[in-house]
Amino acid sequence: MVCHGWPSQSLCEDCVSHFAQPQPRCLTCALLLPPGVRQCGECIKKPPPLDACLAAVSYAYPWSHLIQGYKFHAHPGRAGAFALLLRSTPWVEPALEAAELVLPMPLSAERLRTRGFNQALLLANALAPGKTSSQMLLRIQDTPPQSSLSRSERLQALKNAFAVEPLLASQIKGKRLVLIDDVMTSGATLYAAAQVLRAASAAHITGLVIARTQ
């Protein structure tokens, strides 16, 4: 998908090696950090509702273009390639193994009708099919595209956007969760979802995304 070489797989090892080298990131929001720094100042001042956050790559060339094609131009088959990319990222495999439940970020009914698939659900099923549940975390309000809003506007728009399915809430109590999305920008969406999972007494929540913006 990157070098346009004759494909034996969607992402070749050379392109992954060249464009997806591991980089030091904040333990709790996956923001890029200088070597030796474990957590960003914002997370130290105001700890997020995630216990950990992992990102495979930065939202930049070539990944931004590939993810946009995945979501907006009907390329759901890329989920498998992105899952392999994530599995090659340090600490992702241990996080998936330790998790008891893997929850994809839900889409609103309107967004799902427009797109035709939930990109986070396809990714979760490719990573951990036996642990993935799409029924526990609900999107109860549609919100404007997050890229069009400021951080404060995103936080306000997402204030009541998520809920835990009441009939399944007891299954979250005391569990280790992995919460999956494709891209993390300000963190507002992941944090809003994590807050309702925390309120349902989840024991540990790891955010997992393909790409993190700078």
SS3 126: helix
The pLDDT, as a whole number, for residue 10 is: 86
Asked if residue 194 lies in contact with residue 48, where contact means CB atoms within 8 angstroms, the answer is yes
**Residue 32, class by beta-carbon neighbours within 10 Å (0-12 exposed, 13-18 middle, 19+ buried)?**
middle
Give the span between the Cα atoms of 114 and 207, in whole angstroms. 25
Confidence label for 57 from pLDDT (cuts 50, 70 and 90)? very high
Residue at 146: amino acid letter: Q
Q: Which of 57-71, 78-92, 114-128, 142-156 has the lowest average pLDDT?
A: 142-156
68/211 Cα distance (integer angstroms): 11
- Reported as a pLDDT band with limits 50, 70 and 90, residue 159 is confident
Sequence spans of domains, the chain: 13-212
Checking if the pLDDT of 147 tops 60, the result is no
Q: Which fold has domain 13-212?
A: Rossmann fold (3.40.50)
| 178-202 pLDDT tens trace | 999 999 998 999 999 999 999 999 9
Mean pLDDT of 142-164: 71
165, 133 in Cβ contact below 8 A?
no
Mean pLDDT of 58-69: 96
